[in-house]
Amino acid sequence: MFNKLFGKFSKDLGIDLGTSHTRVFVREKGIVINEPSVVAINTRTDQILAVGSDARDMLGKTPPHILTTKPLSKGVISDFEVAEKMLKYFIDRVHTESFTIVPRPRIVIGVPLETTEVERKAIEDAALSAGARQVYLVEGPMLSAIGARLPISESVGIMVVDIGGGTTEIAVLSLGGVVTWKSLPIAGDELNKNVVQYARDVFNLLLGERVAEQVKIRIGSAVEQTEPLTMEMRGRDLLSGLPKEIIVNDSQIREAIHRSIAVIVQNIKATLEVTPPELVADIYERGIVLTGGGSLLRGLDVLISRQAEIPVRVAEDPLTCAVRGAGALLENDLLLKDLALPSASQGGII
């Protein structure tokens, strides 16, 4: 009874708690927060100085007493206290325009397929401590599929490849469940590291990860481009120790990230090999759907399609698929109860 009453007034949230970005969907409002999962803390006073874009701008530029940290690693909480503070900051931000008596929200959060019970409990506890009334955890690829408007409850095979910041999750879905899946620690962040390593090995240039990410976004590609792309890359010369700028092209960046991309493609093929033949027939007809920020890499869909010999398409607005899926579940209580993972902490589901 109270839950129904609370439900009418509470601002229920769908949260995509990602390694690189956290996105928050508010029922009846849409996506209201899309910020990097970065927190800046003053270690002298233990105060949070900045969260999101402001904190990311501080990366690599802080004095010793200011710590910029990413509280999530590979899609799970690596620093509980900071993750809780970050969640609380985002929940408070959503509620700033409301009256103080607005009930605490129900929250739907996406979690990676490979999370342990301990990791799930950490996410639940962080959300409850940050002000949630109820916490529902749902597998990430399931949320991405819902956000991409795929018929997850039907008896058809759907293959979703979610390439995020910390992990790539490959899942075959049918009848509201995950049939076969693989989770890889190779995704957007790993590609940035590949660019940093390539610059060091080939040009003796020490790059920051922010610069590497910009290079990957602007000229990175998985297949040869019709028109060559070039960009300046700035860092520190390892030999002289002085600032240095060089011009790189798309084929050099393709060479830098080639090995990581090959591993992702290999694992997509390996997942197909262990998928029941009836579902493979459906996937062959419907194609593979790519979601997550990594799917925006130029030509990645073309490369996977060539290698797996199956049509591949990038979902509409792949960056927000998971959070839109979480938002859609807030409107569908029956489906939410079907898809929610068992609560790992006693207070999780009321």
User: Does residue 8 surpass a pLDDT of 90?
Assistant: no
Checking if the pLDDT of 4 tops 90, the result is no
Taking the C-alpha atoms of residue 126 and residue 142, their distance in angstroms, rounded to an integer, is 22
Whole-angstrom CA distances from 25 to 34, 155, 284 are 9, 29, 33
Q: Please tell me the distance from the alpha carbon of residue 181 to that of residue 204, in angstroms, as a whole number.
A: 39
Q: Does 59 have pLDDT greater than 90?
A: no
- What sign has the CA pseudo-torsion 309, 314, 319, 322? negative
- When pLDDT is cut at 50, 70 and 90, the band that residue 346 belongs to is low
Backbone angles phi, psi at 48, to 5 degrees: -80, 125
The CATH superfamily holding the domain 157-186+261-318 is: ATPase, nucleotide binding domain (3.30.420.40)
What distance in Å separates the CA atoms of residue 269 and residue 275, rounded to the nearest whole number? Answer: 10
Q: 2-143+321-339 and 188-256 share one CATH topology?
A: no
Distance CA 219, CA 207 (A): 16
User: What average pLDDT does the segment 86-97 reach?
Assistant: 84
* Fold held by 188-256: Actin; Chain A, domain 4 (3.90.640)
What pLDDT, on a 0 to 100 scale, did the predictor assign at position 209? 87
Examine the pLDDT at 238 and tell me if it is beyond 70.
Answer: yes
The tens digit of pLDDT for each residue in 188-215 reads 999 999 999 999 999 999 998 889 999 9
- The mean of the pLDDT values for the chain is 90
Tell me the C-alpha distance between 57 and 192, whole Å.
17
Residue 46 φ/ψ, nearest 5 degrees: 60, 30
Task: Identify the CA nearest to 232 among candidates 220, 249, 217.
Answer: 249
Predicted local distance difference test score (pLDDT) of residue 175: 93
Residue 5: predicted pLDDT:
46
Q: How far apart are CA 156 and CA 280, in angstroms?
A: 10
Q: What is the pLDDT of residue 220?
A: 95
Confidence band for 9, pLDDT divided at 50, 70 and 90: low
Q: Sign of the C-alpha dihedral, residues 141, 142, 143, 147?
A: positive
Query: Is pLDDT above 90 for 28?
Result: no
In the prediction, which pLDDT does 96 show?
75
Q: Provide mean pLDDT across the span 163-180.
A: 94
Categorize the per-residue pLDDT at 2 as very low, low, confident or very high, splitting at 50, 70 and 90. Answer: very low
- Can you tell me the distance from the alpha carbon of 90 to that of 80, in angstroms, rounded to the nearest whole number? 15
Confidence check: pLDDT of 250 > 70: yes
| Tokens found for residue 166 | 């910390």
Q: In what order do the strands lie in the sheet with 205-206?
A: 205-206, 230-237, 243-249
Pick the CATH number of 2-143+321-339 from 3.30.420.40, 3.30.470.30, 3.40.50.1820, 3.30.70.100: 3.30.420.40
* Whether the Cβ atoms of residue 98 and residue 9 lie closer than 8 Å to each other: no
Neighbouring C-alpha atoms within 13 Å toward the C-beta of 301:
18
Q: Quickly state the pLDDT bin for 347 (edges 50, 70, 90).
A: very low
Q: Which of 18, 11, 16, 12 is nearest to 323 (CA)?
A: 16
pLDDT score at 11: 80
Which pLDDT score is estimated for 350?
A: 40
With tokens 């593979």, the residue in question is 288
Dig out the tokens for 89 from the structure.
């900051």
pLDDT over 70 for what percent of the chain?
A: 93
pLDDT of res. 101:
55
| Domain spans in the chain, listed from the N-terminal domain onward | 2-143+321-339, 157-186+261-318, 188-256
Helix (H, G, I), strand (E, B) or coil at 55: helix
The DSSP secondary-structure symbol of 295 reads G
List of E strands, 83-240: 106-111, 134-139, 158-163, 168-174, 177-184, 205-206, 230-237
Neighbour count for residue 245 (Cβ, 10 Å): 10
Average pLDDT (66-94) is 88
Give the pLDDT of residue 98: 55
Extract the tokens encoding 29.
């409002």
Assess whether pLDDT exceeds 70 at residue 97.
Answer: no
For 292-312, the pLDDT digits (tens) are: 999 999 999 999 999 999 999
The distance between the two most distant Cα atoms of the chain, rounded to a whole number of Å, is 71
Of 270, 267, 105, 292, the closest CA to residue 188 belongs to 292
Give the model's pLDDT for residue 348.
Answer: 42
Contacts of 333 (CB under 8 A, 6+ apart): none
| Residues contacting 196, CB < 8 A, separation 6+ | 207, 209, 212
